């Protein structure tokens, strides 16, 4: 061994060229676009002081908005968890006319800009809209209530669970199900005790992704929400309101609270992935 | 197996009618699940999509087209195209560089770097916009200096580009990294052994291998870039004819009860989304082996 082949303390020796250039571009752009701006938010918070942040966040209007955002996001993600598994199962296992179309339609919420989805859902569920008028006859009001927010959050989170679970179903070894059937298990028993446990980690990952997306969602919600303080005001809207009043400290305080929630969820997603890798060997 | 005698012919039809493979659901259950999926997607996803076009065309196609040819609508369309034309190539360069560094080398902190690249996906677009305002706004250290030198960022084009780049930052890298891990380094190493320069290896060996994945990532990045609303709403200042992108114009028109005009712009973006979806599906069918198996975003 000569000095030339000894391990570099940071990067291992490689015949591949361009590490400096690639790493330079990566770190520079990551810093300018993402890291420095997030650091600026945290610095603003440090400057404002923990006590002041707490005083800003600890108000009924903000707690109500954070709680509303989190609660409805959780319910929407829960709905998408169940519906997403059904969708993934139907798309992966059954062959029927129009399956490809259905498969592509699952991605529509990703392809449709949030503002477009927002005004479309509002038009659909407003009291004079196609769905809204029918629901109004039944005495149900959706647009400009918390139900409207829930509908919007279900829309934006719809693809996550379906898209994480579908590849897992496609990879399931059918022999496992055959073995279960041979041993006398009913189909329902096999699905419940053999198939479902295999889908759980992917489904939970999708659930967490849908939840994280819904908590931060803005565009598709603000049109249908009606934005009544204490009732249908979501957390991201409060940041926009503070910014419109040039109240940067308050905006930063709420932003930091939301950032902490996001980080907690990112951690949860990673823990789920580590747990599932240990359990089954893949996500 | 085939020499097991079949039951007498008279007994078969009734049994055959009730039979389904033990690893399949009963036909009735199957039908219910398919109907549930179709109905659910119809109500939740296809109905809103149909509404966009129905509302845009509610006063006839002439009115819809007239509202799109309005000078302010044109300036919004031009701005959105310009922002995407800057933000998407920059993010593509970043994605390729990051994927090259991460998949072709072993270094400490790689997992942490990947987490940092993924970070924008878990930050609310509004918080992303807020971060840009706090960093580059006129009140900030960097922003103040730039404004003093005649180069404002927030409430101007650079801010919109930065906000758009923030929210679309991981798209290309996320798509490329798994594909390049799967392809390994052997081909590049062979080319190097044969005396090719680094740049030539990238151009003639790596790029052809990742082109479909790159296109896929760029496509998703572009769709999100042109449709981004939350982050841009915070940094744009919503100056009509200057910093209003198409999604921002949709909001302004909608709030002014110009419903047909708002939905005409929305239909334009929805159409773009549908084209994106079409190309994406075509890529998935034709080049599935060269794309990331797990479609997460």
**Which of the four pLDDT bands, split at 50, 70 and 90, describes residue A9?**
low
The arithmetic mean of pLDDT across residues A224-235, rounded, is: 91
Tokens matching residue B228: 């981004």
User: pLDDT (tens digit, 9 = 90+) per residue, A78-102?
Assistant: 999 999 999 999 999 999 999 989 9
Residue B54 vs residue B2, higher pLDDT = B54
The arithmetic mean of pLDDT across residues A227-252, rounded, is: 91
Predicted pLDDT at B238: 86
Supply the ipTM of this predicted assembly.
0.89
Beta-bridge partners for B107: A11
Q: DSSP state, A75?
A: H
Cβ atoms of residues A213 and A207 within 8 Å: no
8 Å CB contact of A181 and B23: yes
Residues B254 and B121 in one domain: yes
8 Å CB contact of A41 and B127: yes
Query: Is B18 within the bounds of a domain?
Result: no
Question: pTM score, two decimals?
Answer: 0.89
Predicted pLDDT at B292: 72
Query: Is B4 within the bounds of a domain?
Result: no
Residues B197 and B274 in one domain: yes
3-state secondary structure of B229: coil
User: pLDDT (tens digit, 9 = 90+) per residue, A250-264?
Assistant: 999 999 999 888 888
Beta-bridge partners for A155: none
**Which of the four pLDDT bands, split at 50, 70 and 90, describes residue A3?**
very low
User: pLDDT (tens digit, 9 = 90+) per residue, A107-143?
Assistant: 999 999 999 999 999 999 999 999 999 999 999 999 9
Per-residue H/E/C for A121-150: HHHHHCCCCHHHHHHHHCCCCCCCCHHHHH
Query: Is B256 within the bounds of a domain?
Result: yes
Q: Please report, for the domain that includes residue B74, its CATH number.
A: 1.10.3720.10
B129 CB neighbour count, 10 Å cutoff: 33
Q: How far apart are CA A77 and CA A84, in angstroms?
A: 10
3-state secondary structure of A11: strand
Residues B83 and B177 in one domain: yes
Residues B31 and B100 in one domain: no
**Which of the four pLDDT bands, split at 50, 70 and 90, describes residue B26?**
confident
Query: Is B295 within the bounds of a domain?
Result: no
Q: What is the mean pLDDT of chain B?
A: 89
User: pLDDT (tens digit, 9 = 90+) per residue, B223-279?
Assistant: 999 999 999 999 998 888 889 999 999 999 999 999 999 999 999 999 999 999 999
Task: Give B-chain residues touching A237 at CB under 8 angstroms.
Answer: 126
Query: Is B13 within the bounds of a domain?
Result: no
Query: Is B116 within the bounds of a domain?
Result: yes
CA distances from B122 to A18, A20, A258, B166, B169 (A): 30, 29, 10, 11, 12
CA distances from B144 to B131, B152, B153, B154, B236 (A): 15, 8, 10, 11, 17
Does the pLDDT of residue B297 top 70, yes or no?
no
Closest CA to B173 of B92, B233, B237: B92
Q: Above pLDDT 70, what percent of chain B? A: 92
8 Å CB contact of B192 and A15: yes
Residues B44 and B170 in one domain: no
Q: Which of B23, B93, B229 sits opposite A219 (nearest CB)?
A: B229
Specify the fold of A49-280.
MetI-like fold (1.10.3720)
User: pLDDT (tens digit, 9 = 90+) per residue, A153-171?
Assistant: 999 999 999 999 999 999 8
Domain count of the fold of chain B: 2
Cβ atoms of residues B220 and A113 within 8 Å: no
8 Å CB contact of B266 and A104: no
**Which of the four pLDDT bands, split at 50, 70 and 90, describes residue B289?**
confident
3-state secondary structure of B107: strand
Q: For chain B, how long is the longest CA-to-CA vector?
A: 95
Burial A235-268 (b: 16+ CB within 10 A, else e): bbbbbbbbbeeeebebbbbbbbbbbebbeebbeb
Predicted pLDDT at B6: 56
Closest CA to B253 of B240, B271, B237: B240
Residue B220 lies in domain? 64-290
Predicted pLDDT at B240: 85
Rg (CA), chain B: 26
Tokens matching residue B10: 């008279």
Helix then strand then coil, % of chain B, to nearest 5: 75, 0, 25
Tokens matching residue B22: 């033990």
Tally of CA atoms within 13 A in the half-sphere of B216 that contains its CB? 28
Extents of the domains making up chain A: 18-48, 49-280
Predicted pLDDT at A2: 43
The arithmetic mean of pLDDT across residues A63-76, rounded, is: 94
Does the pLDDT of residue B7 top 60, yes or no?
no
Give yes or no for A79 touching B (CB within 8 A): no
Q: CA-CA-CA-CA torsion for A269, A105, B120, A200, nearest 10 degrees?
A: 0
Residues B89 and B206 in one domain: yes
The arithmetic mean of pLDDT across residues B178-204, rounded, is: 91
**Which of the four pLDDT bands, split at 50, 70 and 90, describes residue A184?**
confident
Does the pLDDT of residue A5 top 70, yes or no?
no
**Which of the four pLDDT bands, split at 50, 70 and 90, describes residue A280?**
low
Task: Give B-chain residues touching A131 at CB under 8 angstroms.
Answer: 43, 47
Task: Give B-chain residues touching A114 at CB under 8 angstroms.
Answer: 227, 229-230, 247
Residues B157 and B48 in one domain: no
Predicted pLDDT at B101: 95
Give yes or no for B134 touching A (CB within 8 A): yes
Predicted pLDDT at A12: 81
Closest CA to B226 of B237, B218, B238, B234: B218
Residue A176 vs residue B16, higher pLDDT = A176
Q: Above pLDDT 90, what percent of chain B? A: 70
Residues B28 and B81 in one domain: no
User: pLDDT (tens digit, 9 = 90+) per residue, B47-106?
Assistant: 999 999 999 999 999 988 988 899 999 999 999 999 999 999 999 999 999 999 999 999
Cβ atoms of residues A107 and A159 within 8 Å: yes
Task: Give A-chain residues touching B131 at CB under 8 angstroms.
Answer: 37-38, 40-41, 255
Query: Is B12 within the bounds of a domain?
Result: no
**Which of the four pLDDT bands, split at 50, 70 and 90, describes residue A147?**
very high
Q: How far apart are CA B254 and CA A195, in angstroms?
A: 47
Question: Lowest-pLDDT range, A274-278, B163-167, B251-255?
Answer: A274-278
Q: How far apart are CA A247 and CA A251, in angstroms?
A: 6
Tell the burial category of B158 from Cβ atoms under 10 Å away from its Cβ (0-12, 13-18, 19+): middle
Tell the burial category of A94 from Cβ atoms under 10 Å away from its Cβ (0-12, 13-18, 19+): middle
Residues B224 and B241 in one domain: yes
Q: How far apart are CA A136 and CA A142, in angstroms?
A: 8
């Amino acid at each position: 061994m000569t000095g030339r082949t000894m391990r570099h303390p940071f990067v291992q020796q490689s015949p591949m060229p361009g590490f400096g250039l690639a790493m330079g571009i990566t770190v520079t752009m990551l810093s300018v676009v993402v890291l420095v701006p997030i650091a600026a938010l945290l610095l603003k918070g440090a400057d404002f002081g923990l006590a002041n942040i707490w005083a800003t966040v600890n108000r009924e209007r903000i707690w109500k908005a954070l709680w509303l955002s989190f609660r409805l996001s959780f319910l929407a993600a829960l709905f998408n968890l169940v519906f997403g598994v059904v969708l993934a199962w139907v798309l992966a296992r059954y062959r029927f006319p129009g399956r490809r179309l259905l498969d592509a339609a699952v991605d529509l919420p990703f392809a449709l800009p949030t503002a477009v989805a927002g005004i479309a859902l509002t038009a659909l569920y407003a009291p004079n809209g196609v769905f809204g008028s029918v629901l109004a006859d039944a005495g149900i009001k959706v647009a400009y209530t918390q139900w409207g927010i829930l509908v919007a959050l279900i829309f934006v989170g719809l693809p996550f669970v379906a898209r994480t679970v579908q590849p897992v179903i496609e990879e399931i070894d059918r022999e496992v199900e055959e073995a279960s059937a041979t041993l006398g298990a009913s189909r329902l028993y096999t699905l419940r005790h053999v198939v479902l446990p295999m889908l759980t980690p992917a489904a939970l990952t999708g659930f967490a992704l849908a939840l994280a997306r819904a908590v931060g969602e803005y565009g598709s919600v603000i049109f249908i929400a009606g934005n009544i303080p204490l009732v249908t005001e979501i957390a991201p809207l409060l940041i926009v309101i503070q910014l419109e009043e040039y109240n940067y400290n308050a905006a930063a305080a709420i932003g930091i609270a939301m950032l902490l929630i996001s980080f907690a969820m990112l951690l949860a997603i990673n823990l789920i992935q580590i747990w599932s890798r240990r359990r089954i060997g893949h996500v | 197996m085939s020499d097991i005698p079949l039951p007498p012919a008279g007994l078969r039809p009734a049994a055959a009618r009730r039979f389904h493979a033990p690893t399949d659901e009963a036909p009735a259950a199957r039908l219910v699940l398919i109907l549930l999926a179709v109905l659910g997607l119809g109500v939740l996803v296809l109905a809103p999509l149909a509404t966009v076009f129905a509302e845009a065309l509610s006063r006839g196609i002439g009115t819809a087209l007239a509202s799109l040819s309005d000078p302010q609508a044109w300036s919004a369309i031009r701005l959105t195209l310009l922002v995407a034309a800057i933000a998407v190539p920059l993010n593509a360069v970043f994605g390729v560089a990051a994927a090259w560094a991460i998949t072709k080398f072993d270094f400490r902190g790689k997992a942490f770097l990947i987490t940092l690249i993924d970070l924008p996906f878990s930050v609310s677009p509004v918080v992303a916009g807020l971060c840009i305002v706090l960093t580059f706004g006129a009140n900030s250290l960097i922003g103040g200096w730039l404004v003093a030198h005649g180069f404002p960022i927030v409430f101007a084009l650079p801010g919109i580009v930065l906000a758009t780049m923030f929210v679309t930052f991981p798209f290309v890298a996320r798509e490329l990294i798994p594909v390049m891990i799967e392809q390994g380094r052997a081909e590049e190493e062979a080319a190097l052994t044969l005396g090719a320069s680094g740049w030539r290896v990238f151009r003639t060996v790596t790029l052809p291998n990742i082109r479909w994945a790159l296109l896929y990532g760029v496509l998703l990045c572009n769709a999100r870039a042109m449709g981004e609303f939350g982050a841009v709403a915070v940094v744009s200042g919503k100056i009509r004819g200057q910093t209003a992108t198409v999604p921002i114009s949709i909001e302004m028109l909608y709030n002014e009860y110009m419903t047909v005009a708002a939905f005409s712009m929305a239909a334009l973006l929805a159409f773009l989304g549908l084209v994106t979806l079409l190309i994406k599906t075509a890529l998935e069918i034709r080049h599935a082996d060269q794309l990331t198996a797990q479609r997460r975003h």
